[in-house]
Chain A
Amino acid sequence: MTLLGISGLEVFYGAVCALRDVTLSVGQGEIVALIGPNGAGKTSLLMAVAGIVKPRAGRIDFDGAELRDKQPEAIVAAGIAQVPESRDVFTKLTVHENLLIGASLRSDRAAIQADIERIEALFPRLAERRKQPAGLLSGGEQQMLAIGRAMMSRPRLLMLDEPSLGLAPVVTDAVFETIAGLQASGTTILLVEQNSERALSICHRAYLISAGAMVAGGTPDEIHAAGTVDAAYFGLMSNATGTQP
């Protein structure tokens, strides 16, 4: 069953085209990876889904409802949470407040507290630093906090933008383990990664995007077989034949 369906999406920043006729789908319970080089338009796609960037054309459907003209907070309410590339934890709020603010749209106090305890059990470092301003956390801890904050809205779809960026390999391992764990507990994941090997090792399906256009889509094996990843990353696009899903 398709949870998120995007078709014919076009995003422009002024006259600059960031995404052109992009179509993809994320099924319920899947981990779908969006890979591609820097500047390919991966973040623009997530921002369009989150309602921060208004697309010029195309449809974004979530669980059967059109999302395109909705406000960002309504999109959170619909069940989509995002961990942005820059993490964007609120540095002046405490760790605890960062988690609480993730539950801004909920009012079930007891359940919110239970969720905080669950996240603190998952990331014990956050429990230790509960009262500290989030700005004092290390990069890896901020990543944990950003994931925890996103989980606090109990999303059905979690979008992660470059979760491994700037993290030590051992911390990256922990982050990817967490992502797998979240999927196992029923959350659908849309993962944006530049580190394509890493992403392909964890996802069910992947889309390769380059210069704002979809280049290939399929299972990790299919993507590998098409041989388009290296081409997209190293600028050999003229030789690559795009295989649309």
Chain B
Amino acid sequence: MIIVQYLIDAASVGGLYALTALGIGLIFGVIGLVNFAYGEYIMMGAYVILLSVGFDWPVVILFMLVYVTAMALLSELLVFRPVRNADPSTLMIVSFGLSYMIQYIYVMLFGSLTRTVNFLPLVNQAIEVGGVRIAGVNLLQISATLILTVALASFIKFTKLGYQMRAVSENPRMARMVGVNIHRVVAAAFVTSAVLAVTVSALFITQTGSMTPFFGTSLTLIGFVATVIGGLGSLVGCALGGFLVGFATTLLQLMLPPDLQPFRDAFVFAAVILVLLLRPGGLIVLSSNQERV
């Protein structure tokens, strides 16, 4: 039974990481931007939950979608678009700057102490089935990951915006020369990543119920690790990388002696370094890795 419990926990944590990785991987795939401010979209979503206590959950989700999408679009319009043609390292530094700026604006507004909120308490209740504890939020996490990964992959593969995204990813100049409105395509990518961020935010807050202006950073970091392990650039690879990190984290939690458990993340990142030393191109090599989106 402990195996089943482990699998559910791992898939649940992995799902959260996979969704984070997808949001980061999508933006990277389309415009080559490593967006460190992605975690701040998640964090800002959490504070929307804090501020909309008292509203029904669908209204709260709607507020989150509107606010986080607006913020993602604003960051693209005001920050990333002006440096669109800069080299990737410049883009990354810019996103670092944006990330810190948002974090400290939130420290000014809400202080740096942990705030708590009880979001979707019903979903968080665990039911016990034959010795295995399953919380609704675990199931939500797993199913949201599966549904959103499939939806995103289909969107990229089958829609007009999807093939335009792939074209912009491959050759932005030529895309403009056949009349693709590159700003609209990039905006669509930011909106999609904002929707993923809102999903992560809602699931994360349902599970933990607490937030600080800084909690986005650790998720971003894990999202990156998942993206890199998955072979930076393939969406399916991102999702699988996320699941893998989730499984590794949960397994370490289970196997490490209690004294070492607080240092779990050190072991996770050591494993990541090892993976990258052995397979610089990422652990998962799919044929779709050839595609950046």
A positions within 8 Å CB-CB of B: 50, 52, 71-73, 76-77, 81-82, 84, 88, 90-93, 97, 100-102, 104-105, 149-150, 152-153
Contacts and interface: CB of A to CB of B under 8 A. Distances in A.
B170 A90 contact: yes
A50 B180 CA distance: 13
Interface in B164-191: 164, 166-167, 170-171, 173-182
A84 B174 contact: yes
Interface centre among A50, A82, A97 (most CB of B within 10 A): A97
B291 interface: yes
A73 B174 contact: no
B163 A102 contact: no
Contacts of A92: 166, 170, 290-291
B170 A100 contact: no
A50 B174 CA distance: 11
A45 B179 CA distance: 19
A90 B179 contact: no
A104 B164 contact: yes
B59 to A, nearest CB: 35
Contacts of B174: 84, 88, 90
B160 A153 contact: no
Nearest to B168: A90
Given A88-B171, A92-B170, A92-B291, A101 B164 contact: yes
Contacts, number: 63
A52 B178 CA distance: 12
Contacts of B290: 92
Given A72-B176, A100-B163, A152-B178, 4 more contacts: A73-B181, A82-B177, A91-B170, A101-B175
A104 B180 CA distance: 6
A71 to B, nearest CB: 7
A228 to B, nearest CB: 32
Contacts of B177: 50, 52, 72, 76, 82, 84, 88
B178 A102 contact: yes
Interface string B139-181: 0000000000000000000001001101100110111111111
20 contacts: A52-B176, A52-B177, A71-B176, A73-B176, A76-B178, A77-B179, A84-B174, A88-B171, A88-B177, A90-B170, A90-B171, A91-B170, A92-B166, A93-B170, A97-B166, A100-B163, A101-B164, A101-B175, A104-B178, A152-B178
A81 B180 CA distance: 12
Contacts of B181: 73, 104
A50 B291 CA distance: 28
Interface centre among B160, B175, B176, B182 (most CB of A within 10 A): B176
Contacts of A101: 163-164, 167, 175, 178, 180
A153 to B, nearest CB: 6
Interface string B66-108: 0000000000000000000000000000000000000000000
Nearest to A81: B178
Contacts of A105: 179
Nearest to A87: B174
A195 to B, nearest CB: 23
A149 B176 CA distance: 13
Contacts of A84: 174, 177
B180 A93 contact: no
Nearest to B167: A90
Contact of B167 (A73, A81, A93, A150): A93
B166 A93 contact: yes
A50 to B, nearest CB: 6
A76 B173 CA distance: 13
A82 B175 CA distance: 11
A104 B179 CA distance: 6
Contacts of B164: 101, 104
Given A84-B174, A88-B174, A93 B163 contact: yes
A101 B174 CA distance: 11
A104 B167 CA distance: 11
A102 B163 CA distance: 11
A149 B180 CA distance: 13
* The 3 nearest A-B residue pairs measured at CB: A76-B179, A72-B176, A105-B179
Nearest to A102: B178
Contacts of B171: 88, 90
A92 B174 CA distance: 13
A28 B274 CA distance: 64
